[in-house]
Amino acid sequence: MTKLSVNINKIATLRNARGGNIPDLLKAAKDIQDFGAEGITIHPRPDERHIRYQDARDLKSVVYTEYNIEGNPVKKFIDLVLEVQPTQVTLVPDAEDALTSDAGWNTIKHMDFLKEVIAEFHSNGIRTSIFIDPVTDMIEAAVKTGTDRIELYTESYARDYLNGNMEGIRVYADAAHLAGKLGLGVNAGHDLSLDNLKYFNDSIPELMEVSIGHALISESLYLGLENVIQMYLARLQ
């Protein structure tokens, strides 16, 4: 069964809107795991507009499943990951002012940089994943960086699915098959939802983990957090 890691950035955004501690991010993380999710994902950004760097530290004692920290590996981020020692770090090439992640790595252009960063994380026992578009050349180059996994950037799949283009899955299925053949683990994330997740998961047998935040938290406003997590888990079986 594909693992569900819940991105809790949006819970932090809601908390920060009033400056207090409601909703309680640490309690939410604990509850999400108790409800059945197999992981917690955070994506701290330099302006700390949602997840704060201190949150990453505080969550270490709360996350008892898989702890995944995403972000652009600038020095401040690297230092944070090395301090916190999560299960997995997902490298994302975000611009500093990015509203949300909007592109995967050019693993050819940034090969040397990625090799260096990944080697440092590996030396500290941290599994690595690279956020990447479903492009053959990028996946083949990703292998050479030494990464353990890739995370397929699924925005175009979600858009195609919404527009009724079911063939949009094909490029992802091919990319995942290639990655598996080359010895890479396959994660996925971005704009996956209750509507489009089952078809994606059923089409990609190599899929190990999905990271979902915005849709899951939004759906929970109507359906309840515990109920929504159970609905996601059912789609991943």
Q: Cα separation of 172 and 152, whole Å?
A: 8
Residues 168 and 161: beta-carbon distance below 8 Å: yes
First to last CA, the chain: 5
Burial of 130 (0-12, 13-18, 19+ CB in 10 A): buried
Domain boundaries, the chain: 3-235
Task: Name the residue with tokens 């699915």.
Answer: 161
Nearest to 33 by CA among 59, 71, 52, 2: 59
> pLDDT tens digit string along 53-64?
999 999 999 999
Which pLDDT score is estimated for 205? Answer: 97
Which pLDDT score is estimated for 103? Answer: 78
**What number is the average pLDDT over the span 16-35?**
97
pTM: 0.95
Point out the residues that are catalytic.
Answer: 43, 70, 190
> pLDDT tens digit string along 42-94?
999 988 999 999 999 999 999 999 999 999 999 999 999 999 999 999 999 97
Which pLDDT score is estimated for 145? Answer: 98
> pLDDT tens digit string along 92-148?
997 665 545 557 999 999 999 999 999 999 999 999 999 999 999 999 999 999 999
- For residue 222, the surrounding DSSP H or E stretch is helix 214-223
| Superfamily of 3-235 according to CATH | Aldolase class I (3.20.20.70)
Nearest to 229 by CA among 206, 207, 213, 208: 213
